[in-house]
Each structure stands twice: as C-alpha cells, then as structure tokens.
Structure 1
Amino acid sequence: MANELFDPLYGADRVAGVLDGGAWIAALLEVELALTNAATDAGIVDEHDADAVEPAFGAIRVGPAELGAEAVEGGNPVIPLVRRLRAAVEKVRDGAGRAVHPGATSQDVMDTALVLLTRRAGSRVVEDLRGSADAAAALATAHRDTPCAARTLGQQALPTTFGAVAASWCSGLDRAAARLAGLLGELPVQFGGAAGTLAASYPHGPAVADGLAARLGLAPQGVPWHTERTRIGELAGALGVAAGACAKPATDVVLLSGTELGEVSEAAPGDSSSMPHKRNPIAAVTARASARRAPGLVATLLASMEQEHQRAAGAWHAEWVTLADLLRASSGAASRLRACLEGLAVHPDAMARNLALAAGDHDAPHHAGDLVDRVLAGRVR
C-alpha cells in the first residue's frame, strides 16, 4: 500500500501516483465513459443520452475515502460509483442514466481499470529495467577486459572480467524487460456482462467489447475472462522475475562493496547514524528490499487463479491491492537498481589485489571478454 514515508526509500514513488486511490477513480471513470461511447457506436445507447454523460462525469467529485466507505456494502467501488454517475447524468438529461454502464457488470469495469493502471505502472517498471540494463551494458563495455575474481560458493574460483559480470546482469535485465513489456502489451479489455455471456448487450456485445478496447488502447479480449485468470498469473510471474533480475546485481553490488573486497562503490553511498566511517550501498540494499517482497505477492496472485464458476468469491477481490503492491515492489527494485548501476564506481586496483590472493587460469579474462561481446551484440530492445 502507498506510504509517503517509505515509498521514496524503496523506489515505489515511481509508480505511487498511478496506483493510488485517485488514479483508481480516474481509471474507473475513463472506462465508464469509453463504454458509453462504444455502446453508442454499436447502437445500444441513444446518442442524445450519450451526450449527457461526459459533462455529468466531469462534475463528479468523490474522493477515495468516501467512495471506499460506500463500496463496503457491495464489495467493490464500481457499484456506488455507477449509482453516483447515473444520478449526475439524470440531472443533465432526464432518462439518460441508462447510458451509464450499458450491458456491463462491476467486474468489467474493475478489471479494465486494473489493466489500464497496470499498463501505466508497468511501463515505468520496463523503463527502469531497460535503464538498469543499459547501465550494466555500459559497465560491461568499459570493463570488458578488467580482470577480477569469479567466485563460486563464496570462494574465489577462476579469473574473469568485471565486464563479463556486468554483461550477465545486462542479459537477465533485458530478458525480464522484454517479457514484461510483451505481456503488458497483450493485456485485454474486459466486457462480459453479469455472467460473462454478453446477454445484456446481445447481439452487439462483441462489437462493444472491441470498441471499448480500441477506445482505451487495449488488446481485444476474444472472450470474457472473468474467472479465467491466466493473464494475471503470467503478469504476476513476469513482475516477480523482473524483481529477481534486479535482486541479482543488487546482491553482487552489496557483496563487492564490502570493506574486505572494495571492488565497487555507489556514487552516493549512504551513511550510518552511529558509525561515520561507513559508506553503505543503499541503492542496492533497497533494491533488494523491494525485490524481496515480490515472491509472496506473486504467490497470492497465483493462488487467486482458482476461482469459482463465473464469478469468484474473494479470489478476484484479492487481486486488486496485491497486484498494485507487486507493481510497487517490482518498480522499486528496478528504479533503485538503476540508481545503483548508473553511478557505480569500479575499482580495478582492488580487483587486481584480490585476484592475486588465489592462483588461476590467467587466460580466462580473455575468454570472458568474448562473452561480453556476444551478450552486447545479441541485445534485443
């Protein structure tokens, strides 16, 4: 959940403004207006009634706390919002309230609004993943041939190059960004009516659904997906993978920044309230903290895929806040990692000093440089 004290620290402030209560209400209104217009295009709603909708919507003034309190009775905020909207439209034109929410059920509007918010927040996650990957690629290029120790099971193994280490980070971040971006682009509209049969808008239901998707810039649904939640499950997995892809380099930076190694350091390290000599890799630390929240949230969303018949009794409701929290956690991991890597200082002298502590195949760094070239040449954006 949004928290003004901790959001900047965890990096969640990147998406907080597009996932808060006000953003939810704006998205719900956006969906309802687009639905009226799509239904008008399909001939379900009278054009004169539809003309009364937009000015009435513009006059709606309701805050998250007020709407949230009203949502308790029905179990979601769409029910009281639609009630308010119809009353407002009736004041503009008598009888025009029927132009609000035509052929829809609450889940249609909630799911479509959730998709809109997810795409907006998710695009920022992708942006920071790509920024992190670019920073890792720059480190790989700059340090293609900088020797350092490869470590396995916490011990020095063979020599590698820091460029190869950073190229591995880049590869994982690129994969995570590409997968997440692809899934975000595939997220569809939701329009099925009370039981997912489109009965209330027959025979124009598919046309309304496609028109709604086009107006909102979303993918068409094919068929309603009220209790078929594979898209949410896939999205959860991609966000969890993105967080994990960020946690890997963040963990390496924390370890390599240790006093005994000193091979890297952040550009703006944090201090300590009691130990003035410390220079903590705080961006990497908080990237790890955000990423660590993701697996539990992913598990909740996967568990929520088990939904009863044509409308879930609780599992659907569990998705709204959980998915928003997962977006915040993944965004925090990506944005804090980006801050870490874009200003990361590399210390080749320390790498050489540590490498000299153990014998190894000193041709390995040359082979590692070849790996860097392969990774960077194969980047897909």
Structure 2
Amino acid sequence: MLGPLLGADRVAATLDARAWLDALLDVEVALTHAAAQQGLVDDAAQVERAAQELRAGLDPAILAAEAVEGGNPVIPLARRLRAAAGPAGAAVHPGATSQDVMDTALVLLVRAAATVIDDDLGGAADGAARLAGEHRDTPMAARTLGQQALPTTFGLVAAGWCAGLDRARLALVDVVGALPVQFGGAAGTLAASYPHGPAMADALADLLGLPRADVPWHTERSRLGELAGALGVAAGACAKPATDVVLLSATEVGEVSESAPGGSSSMPHKRNPVAAVTARASAGRAPGLVATLLAAAGHEHQRAAGPWHTEWPALMDLLCATGGAAARLRICLEGLRVHPEAMARNLSLTSGGGTPHHAGELVDRTLGGRERQ
C-alpha cells in the first residue's frame, strides 16, 4: 500500500521474495560450476537444470517458512536442490557454508537495487542541473537561520542540490561496485575445498561478475558499514532539496511549485508539494537504519549469532528508503515550476541588499564539472 506513495516500489521489486530465491539459486549454480572447473564435482549441468525447476515450481513463501528451523533459507534450499538434482545431488553446495550463499546473494540483490537507485539519483541530479542552467541568473533571497540574508540566484541553489546528489551517487556506485563475492566454507578457511579453495573462490566471483575477495569476510563487516553510510548520505542528499522545495512552496513564499501538487480531503485550496514531502519521509527513515547496520557490525568469532541476521531486513529497508527518496525527488525536480516574480517580490521585502556577483560563475563551474565526470 505504501510502496508507491513513498517511492520504494521499483527498488522493492528487486528485493522481493522471488528476487531472493533467484539470487540464492544463481549462487548455488555458480558454486557448482566453480567446483566443476576445479575438478571437484561433476554433473554441473544437471544441477543447473534442477535449479531451473525450482525457479519455476517453488513458492518462495514455502522456502521462507522452512527457513525458520535452521535460521536461514539456504539450508532448506540446498536440501531441495539436492533432491531435485537426483544422482547429481552431491554436486550441490560444494565446499560452502550457508553464509557464503546468503552474503553473495545479498551482494547480487544490492547491485540490482543500486542500479535503480542510481538511475533515480541521476534523474534527480539532471533535474536540478536543468533548473540551475535555466535560472542561472534568476535572483532570489538567500535565507540563513530562516531569515532573508543576501541575494542569491535560484540557479545557484539548484546547482548546490545537483552537486550533492552527484557526489552521493558516485560514492554509492564506488561502494556497491567494490562489494565482493563471499566464499570461505564453514569456518572461513576453505578447508572443504582444499587444495582448490582460493581458485574456487575466484572462479565463483568471475562466474557471478563480482569482485574477487582477498579473504572471507563472514564476520568482518566493514564493507556493509560503508554501504550503509553511502546509502545514508544519498538519502540525506535527497532530503536537502526536498526540504527546500517544501519551504519555498509555502503559500506565503510561493517561489516554486510542483507540477502535480497534491490536494486535501477537506481543503480544496491546498496545493501540497507531495513529491517533496514523501521524498523527505523516505529519507527520514534512513539514519535509523544506518545506525542499526553499524550497531550490528560487531560479529563475534567466525559466525555471528544474531548480528548477521539483523543485517538482512535493515539493509533491505535502507535500500528501499534511499531508493524511495531518490524516486520521489526525481518526480519533484523534473517537473518543478519556478516563479521568478514571487522571488523578486520576496527579495524586495529587504530591499534586495547586495548583488550575487559570482552566482552565475559558480553555477557554470558546477555544470561544467558534471560534463567532465
């Protein structure tokens, strides 16, 4: 019910139960092929066919219910995959532990969700860049501590939005792109695939199109902390322009308005900046989820009892929160209407004290920097 309203529907579709099942099966199939490359198993083709049967016939809700007993869905999935593979069942899940499959599937899901988030962050930044170019020299009042300060231009305000969105987007791309495969076996020593463990880990990464890992990271979660931080920063970069739009579209200010404002169930005169409002709402969820993921970073020994499980829903929610903020902000900025006459009227309240001498130059520097990226 709330996904489209909060902008999370596109990201959520990459993280639903079917997406989880597909990602887990992708990892299991790749594991078998990686082991086959090292001569550890045969019948990889039969395992792949069995996986295709499960994709078509297994209800993810059944797997979710079966996951309760062992604490993760990999245990019942591997059991079902072995049964479906028949005589080739011994080639399923070679040398792996459940966390290898869960973490690697999580990386695949993050990459899919991040592609959607990147598209919307880029779209929002493009919208801000267009506004900056069109209103490079449109004067308005800068406001500090809620009061009119000196004149600026709306182009420079929008250029600031654009710069923040671009910076957050590029940082998120870097963090997501560096997330590696996970393969360490039961205790992170690759013992079950000796003497081919490192080669098999690299083959698994290559088959899935992921970076290779230096060492297994079962309980070394700094990468997920970096991901949480990057998603939180991106949400904050969305919250800034959304907040400005809410304030600038107030009836008494009237300097901007959304192209499709929302109405009221009881007040027909209302023209609410709903896209900006819901962008702020989604972004506002992010800091708590970032904190949850950082608090869960203290995994004990070689397998965490609880913190690992904490990560799954928190990260899924954080991806949806940041993705929702980006999606709703994109809608807001792509159709934002600017009212220069209202900006001039409000600026006259303080006699327009001063001239924004370098505003246009700063806009040009911002937009030129985008062209060089």
TM-score normalised by the shorter chain: which range applies?
over 0.9
Give distance in 1, aligned partners of 2:247 and 2:292. Answer: 31
Q: What is the aligned counterpart of 2:101 among 81, 100, 109? A: 109
Give distance in 2, aligned partners of 1:80 and 1:359. Answer: 72
1:363 deviates by: 2.0
Residue 368 (structure 2) aligns with: 377
Give distance in 2, aligned partners of 1:51 and 1:142. Answer: 57
Residue 73 (structure 1) aligns with: 69
1:31-82 deviation line (CA, Å, top 9, x unaligned): 1001100110111112xx2231111111122222211111111000000000
| Percent of residue pairs identical | 72
1:359 deviates by: 3.1
1:16 deviates by: 1.4
Q: Secondary structure at the match of 1:28?
A: helix
Give distance in 2, aligned partners of 1:62 and 1:303. Answer: 35
CA contact (8 A) 1:300 1:322 kept: yes
Alignment of 1:119-158 (within 5 A): 119-158=111-150
* Further displaced range: 122-131 or 328-337: 122-131
Which residues of structure 2 form unaligned runs of 5+?
Answer: none
Which residues of structure 1 form unaligned runs of 5+?
Answer: none
1:9 maps onto 2:8 in alignment: no
1:360 deviates by: 4.4
RMSD, matched Cα: 0.9
Give distance in 2, aligned partners of 1:217 and 1:39. Answer: 16
1:315-357 deviation line (CA, Å, top 9, x unaligned): 0011111101000000000000000000000000000000000
CA contact (8 A) 2:141 2:352 kept: no
Give distance in 2, aligned partners of 1:240 and 1:375. Answer: 23
Aligned residues: 370
Alignment of 1:249-328 (within 5 A): 249-328=241-320
When the two structures are superposed, what TM-score results if normalisation uses the length of structure 2? 0.98
Q: What is the aligned counterpart of 1:24 among 2, 20, 28? A: 20
Residue 51 (structure 1) aligns with: 45
1:34 maps onto 2:30 in alignment: yes
CA contact (8 A) 1:157 1:360 kept: no
Give distance in 2, aligned partners of 1:217 and 1:54. Answer: 18
Structure 1 counterpart of 2:27, one-letter code: V
When the two structures are superposed, what TM-score results if normalisation uses the length of structure 1? 0.96
1:28 deviates by: 0.2
1:347 maps onto 2:333 in alignment: no
1:368 maps onto 2:359 in alignment: yes
Give distance in 1, aligned partners of 2:293 and 2:59. Answer: 27
Q: What is the aligned counterpart of 1:84 among 80, 86, 102? A: 80
Alignment of 1:168-183 (within 5 A): 168-183=160-175
1:99-124 deviation line (CA, Å, top 9, x unaligned): 00000000000000000000000111
1:214 maps onto 2:206 in alignment: yes
